[in-house]
Structure 1
Amino acid sequence: MGISYSVVEVDAVLRQDIRWSDVKKVPMVLIRQQDGKYVQMTDSSAIISLVASSLHDKRIDVGELAQFYPQISYFDDNGKKRQDILNKYFLMYQDRTPKNMTREIEETERKWRTWADNHLVHLISPNCYQTFEEALETFEWFALAGEWDIHFPKWERDLMVYCGATAMWVIAKILKRRHQLTDDVRSHMYDALNKWTAELKKQNTKFMGGKKPGLADLSVFGVLSSMEGCQTFKDCLQNTNIGKWFYDVKELVQQNRGKLLRERIVGVPALAQ
């Protein structure tokens, strides 16, 4: 059985639930250390690596492991300040590397996790928000999946849906140009998914991790599950072979997940320094 956890739905417009945080970026995770303080980690890939490292060797406190994933600032080629997390695709095995883990397996896993972050995820917005109708449909899906009707008053739920859809419809056009996508944005998504399934066929394995999903599988699954209720995803099921792999991963995720609780918060205990 997996780890039980609470999910806090954050209003992307007002952001009341993360006012306490210096970092205004989601996803983020708070994990309680042995001393009762919380470790805060942002970036989905860093979160995956931290949690996977902790599950691998429970002797080491999660706060100690988090120190291997420091946040850094740098300036990109355009002179814009960026932030990132070091080692976010690396698991900290210490002196307990799994016997079946080879350098080749680790490098392949990091390659596809990086691909999911640097390529696949950038195809989501230009596809899911390419028209206002699709943008609105996408936010209605978010509202359904996140149970916004339960956790937010109607005025706030509608604010999130309509303001969010409008903003992302505009932003999607900017992202399309930034990532040099053609007007046929669906074709880029199909090409990416075909590349993934072609690699699975080449390896002759059910999952990229072999007989069971690995972290690369979970990374790609996480990206695609964010648009599962959208027209883009329906089109992908019809025009690629991604469906079998996706639902095989989803079945195992649901079978092994811990207890999920959705809630709202107004503050958190002291964070680790």
Structure 2
Amino acid sequence: MRRVNFSGLAAVYRAADGVAAAVSSSHQFAQLALYSSSSNSYSKSRWFFDNYSNMAQKSAFAVAGAVVFSVAASSAADEVYAKEPLPPNVRPDDVVLYQYEACPFCNKVKAFLDYYNIPYKIVEVNPLSKKEIKWSDYKKVPILMVDGEQMVDSSVIIDKLSPKIRPSVAVKPSQEADDEEKKWRGWVDNHLVHILSPNIYRNTSEALESFEYITSHGNFSFTERITAKYAGAAAMYFVSKKLKKKYDITDERSALYEAAETWVDALNGRDFLGGAKPNLADLAVFGVLRPIRYLKSGKDMVEHTRIGAWYSRMESAVGESSRIKS
């Protein structure tokens, strides 16, 4: 496999060395890996770190790969869509989400919890030390604790929670609707997520825009924030080019627009894939798109495709976060 030439980053890394020295660059830290948020997704990109395991600046890459950042914002919709009512007898008593704020798969879990109005607490994990999840054998996020039971991997988490919750709020969907939902949930995990990174790191200005969010919202120390913003943004710009080749993406914006239009076509005139109300596929697409919606890439997506109306309906349907503020 042909290696990426990182000589152009030498000056960036030298400038960041003084800061990066204060950050762990151990092999364990590098195992965050590019997009290692969920085993059903970005952990497959660990090959990149295997190829560059001797780089002194692995910490910057690991911080970069730990998250695909989101800027959470809500916009007014023309029509109000109510959340699904959840009877008290099926609502868990204690739900805790271990997450990276900007992780698309963590956002997918949060979209599910918010829509079904399940109160949950957040533990923001430091992607360097990961001390918040030292107790778990699973060293990635999301991790969801539900009344003392550990659940991992975003799609698996939702698969476990859904049967306990959905029968109480809706009629069981037909086999055709169920198959459609599964098809598009798979499309999210196996296609849509791979388009995000090449778009948000498309050029230096967009990479820095994205890392501005990371440094402001992630659980980082001051020195970690500096390293992430500059060395990480520069590194991920080049990594995104590698990902374009890996996933055979010629034009990242065109790929994003095509994915958005593909989703709108799947709706086939319906408000949601689930019909009058969102189903799990709607929540999955919405969850992973939240990280980019109000970055330049997301704004371009809404401006140049038909997805904006659906997204606004989803914002209204999912509504306010059901997170319990500490």
Alignment RMSD, CA only?
A: 2.3
The match for 2:323 is: 259
Contact 2:215 2:226 in 1 (8 A): no
Contact 1:11 1:160 in 2 (8 A): no
Q: Report which stretch shifted further, 40-49 or 119-128.
A: 40-49
Compare the two structures and name the one with the higher strand fraction: 1
In the alignment, is residue 173 of structure 1 matched against residue 237 of structure 2? Answer: no
Cα shift at 1:248: 1.0
Cα shift at 1:57: 6.1
The match for 2:293 is: 228
Report percent identity of matched pairs.
39
In structure 2, what is the Cα distance between the partners aligned to 1:157 and 1:53? 40
The 3 A distance-change label for structure 1 pair 171 and 42 is: farther
In structure 2, what is the Cα distance between the partners aligned to 1:168 and 1:10? 21
1:194-273 aligned at under 5 Å gives the runs: 194-200=261-267, 202=268, 204-255=269-320, 257-261=321-325
The match for 1:3 is: 118
In structure 2, what is the Cα distance between the partners aligned to 1:219 and 1:57? 19
Contact 1:13 1:164 in 2 (8 A): no
Cα shift at 1:230: 1.5
1:8 match: secondary structure: strand
2:132 match: secondary structure: helix
The one of 195, 220, 225 aligned to 1:123:
195
In the alignment, is residue 43 of structure 1 matched against residue 140 of structure 2? Answer: no
The one of 260, 282, 296 aligned to 1:193:
260
1:30 match: secondary structure: strand
Amino acid at match of 2:308: G
Cα shift at 1:157: 3.1
The 3 A distance-change label for structure 1 pair 30 and 226 is: same
1:61-81 CA distances to partner (integer Å, 9 max, x unpaired)? xxxxxxxxxxxxxxxxxxxxx
In the alignment, is residue 138 of structure 1 matched against residue 206 of structure 2? Answer: no
In structure 2, what is the Cα distance between the partners aligned to 1:120 and 1:218? 13
The match for 2:143 is: 28
**Matched pairs, number:** 211
In structure 2, what is the Cα distance between the partners aligned to 1:9 and 1:111? 31
The one of 178, 182, 202 aligned to 1:106:
178
The match for 2:95 is: none
Contact 1:205 1:211 in 2 (8 A): yes
Cα shift at 1:212: 0.9
Amino acid at match of 1:225: R
1:147-166 aligned at under 5 Å gives the runs: 147-148=217-218, 152-166=220-234
Question: Runs of 5+ in structure 2 lacking a partner?
Answer: 1-84, 86-116
1:41 match: secondary structure: strand
Amino acid at match of 1:138: S
